[in-house]
Amino acid sequence: MHEHTIPESLIEQIRTGKAALVVGAGIGVPSWKQLLERITKVLETRGREGDDAATKDVEKLLHKGSLVRAVGFLARAVGEDTCDRIVQEVWSAPAETPALPKMLARLPFRHVWTTFPGDIIEHALETGSPDEWPRARVVTYQELGELSLRRRTLVKLFGNFETYVVTPASIRRALSRAVDLREYARELYVEGSLVFVGFRYGDPDLAALLDRVFGVFEPPRGTHYFLGAGVGPVTVDELMADRIWTGTLALARMHIDAGQRVWLVTAAPVEVGAVIAQRLGLTGAIGTVAEIKDGVYTGRLVGGLMHGPQKAAAIADLAEREGLDLARCAAYSDSINDVPMLSAVGRPVAVNPDSALRRAARDRGWEIRDFRSGRRAAKVAVPTALGAGVVAGAVAAAVALNRRGAFRMLRRHGSLAGGRPVRHDFHHSE
pLDDT, tens digit, 9 for 90 and up, residues 119-158: 899 899 998 888 888 888 888 877 776 666 677 889 988 8
Selected residue with higher pLDDT from 57 and 392: 57
pLDDT digits (tens, 9 = 90+) for 371-399: 765 433 332 222 222 222 222 433 333 33
Confidence of residue 415 (pLDDT cuts 50, 70, 90): very low
Within 10 angstroms of residue 131's Cβ, the number of other Cβ atoms is 4
Compute CA distances 407 → 28, 255, 256, 288, 413, whole Å. 29, 25, 25, 9, 11
CA atoms within 13 A on the CB side of 380: 19
Identify the helix (H) or strand (E) that includes residue 120: helix 120-128
Question: Helix 270-280 to helix 406-413 angle, to the nearest 10 degrees?
Answer: 110
54 residue type, one letter: A
Intra-chain end-to-end CA distance of the chain, in Å: 35
Contact 206, 115 (CB under 8 A): yes
Beta-carbon count within 10 A of 418 CB: 11
Beta-bridged to residue 102, according to DSSP, are none
Q: Looking at the whole model, is its pTM more than 0.95?
A: no
Tell which wins on pLDDT, 4 or 275.
Answer: 275
pLDDT of residue 148: 65
Dist CA 395 CA 283 (whole Å): 10
pLDDT at residue 299 in the model: 66
Mean pLDDT of the chain: 75
Q: Which distant-in-sequence residues (6+ apart) come within 8 Å of 423 by Cβ?
A: 223, 224, 225, 226, 296, 297, 298, 299
Lowest mean per-residue pLDDT among 305-309, 330-334, 373-377, 425-429: 425-429
Q: Give the SS3 label for residue 381.
A: coil
Q: Which domains does the chain have, with CATH numbers?
A: 8-29+93-227 (no CATH), 32-90 (no CATH), 238-407 (3.40.50.1000)
The CA distance from 34 to 233, in Å, is: 19
Q: What is the pLDDT of residue 145?
A: 65
- Note the pLDDT of residue 316: 93
Query: What's the mean pLDDT in 41-45?
Result: 93
Q: What are phi and psi of 160, to 5 degrees?
A: -105, -170
Contact 144, 155 (CB under 8 A): yes
* Residue 93: per-residue pLDDT: 79
Residue 42: per-residue pLDDT: 93
pLDDT value for 36: 92
Phi, psi (deg, nearest 5) at residue 291? -70, 135
User: In what helix (H) or strand (E) does residue 422 lie, and over which residues does it extend?
Assistant: strand 422-424
pLDDT per position as a tens digit, 235-247: 444 444 445 666 7
135 CB burial (10 A radius; 0-12, 13-18, 19+): exposed
Which has the higher per-residue pLDDT, 37 or 224?
37
Q: How far apart are CA 276 and CA 297, in angstroms?
A: 20
Report the distance separating Cα 230 and Cα 413, nearest Å.
12
Judged by average pLDDT, the poorest of 278-287, 304-313, 374-383 is 374-383
Name residue 424's beta-bridge partners.
224
Strand boundaries in 149-250, DSSP class E: 153-156, 193-197, 224-226
- CA dihedral angle for residue 249, residue 255, residue 257, residue 258, rounded to 10 degrees: 160
Closest CA to 14 of 184, 151, 192, 199: 192
pLDDT given at position 240: 46
Q: What is the pLDDT of residue 196?
A: 86
**Rounded mean pLDDT of 186-190?**
86
Contact 351, 332 (CB under 8 A): yes
